[in-house]
Amino acid sequence: MLLFLLQRRGFADQGQFTFGNGYRIINLFYFLFCDWKSSWNLLYKPIDEKERKEIDKIVQNCNATSIHKIKEFKQRALIREITSIISIPSSSSNFCLDDANLTKSVQVSSLKENSTKCVNQDLENLTKNVLDQKSSNLCVPISVATLLRFAIKNDLGYVDKRDYYSAESILSTLTLIVYPRSMAGLNLNPKKEETEFQLNEIELLLERLCKKTYLMETGWEIIRKLDFEEERQPKKSTCKFEKILLHKNFVFSRPLTVTGAIIIPHKRIDGIDYPEKLFFHQMTLDRIENGEYVLQNNQFSDPSSAVIRIKQRYPHYAAEPFVSNLENQTGDNIYIDGNIKIELVNEQYYMTRNRWFLLPYAYSLKLTEI
């Protein structure tokens, strides 16, 4: 009855948007017993054991330890025992999606039908059919979904016979359950206001994929259970990511998620001035070939740009004031890490316009069978 009343008020549970057996708990109940910001943080913020113990104390002071029984669909115990609303003082607003523009998102049920791909691209380790992010800002979760599909197949030897672990399935679960973002712009939804809520820091999303939150399993464990039948799911495994430094002698071993930077110079179109602007974009490294990074690009205006090649000898992008401080201290823009030397550029130092440069740090994702 309680769920019915919530849905009548305009709320929806995740089962109405995604599919599979990955996550069956109705998160709406948590919002009844926690304040708004705390609910989002308890559900979606990756935490370590120290932070978990600190939250435990707050929950105990509210006589609300039965909140964990919601996972067992036993809300009555919490209703009987709780004495005050749970409020976590350290809660961050970064995890909250509380804008009116998010009340209506895309029709995820028809995502696969409405999404477009550029097929048969020159890729060897990643899928040759590249998903187009269109006008969305979902390049980060798309790249992470791409790495995860590679790891499921190559680390666990899993064959997805029923298509439960397609790019669309993983992406919708990542953005609607594991770490919610609006999916506007990916299919037919024209609401551009939502795209500002799609920006993801790559490391935060990878942490959420690999770590538990206070109320939820790791993102990988949720995705692993997308198939309803346990015997058809990928093997039980741990998920870990590694931060990797790119350089001109870097040796490729597996796909990486990388961040590209490009400056589009000032231009005038139909009498309208468009000022020079720096753009960042998440892409996936497929391989290194003939001294070039070969990258899967999910934002393209034509099929020829679905795969981007960047010279491995090119400098890497670093933000200010790092480059200027480096020049002041050493007299040049060469960053040294042990035996590795990396030339750095940015919009103020030596950066060629209309050319992609990679940020020096990339990330790998690996699944290890338990």
The whole-chain average pLDDT of the chain stands at 82
Tell me which of 120-129, 167-176, 276-285 is least confident.
120-129
358 touches 260 (CB < 8 A)? yes
Give the pLDDT of residue 96. Answer: 67
% of the chain surpassing 70 pLDDT: 78
Give the pLDDT of residue 186. Answer: 52
pTM of the model as a whole: 0.85
What's the mean pLDDT in 203-213? 93
63 touches 113 (CB < 8 A)? no
What's the mean pLDDT in 237-263? 96
Exposed e or buried b per residue across 219-245, where buried means at least 16 C-beta atoms within 10 angstroms of its C-beta: bbbbbbbbbeeeeebbeebebebeebe
Instruction: Report the C-alpha gap between 99 and 93 in whole angstroms.
Output: 12
Ordered domains of the chain (ranges, CATH): 2-92 (no CATH), 108-315+351-369 (3.90.70)
Give the pLDDT of residue 106. Answer: 46
% of the chain surpassing 90 pLDDT: 49
pLDDT digits 0-9 by tens, 160-180: 988 889 888 898 888 888 888
DSSP per residue, 84-103 = S-B--TT--GGG----GGGS
Residue 336 identity: I
SS3 49: helix
Tell me which of 73-82, 198-207, 336-345 is least confident.
198-207
* Residue with more model confidence, 226 or 120: 226
Name the band, by pLDDT with cuts 50, 70 and 90, for residue 310.
Answer: very high
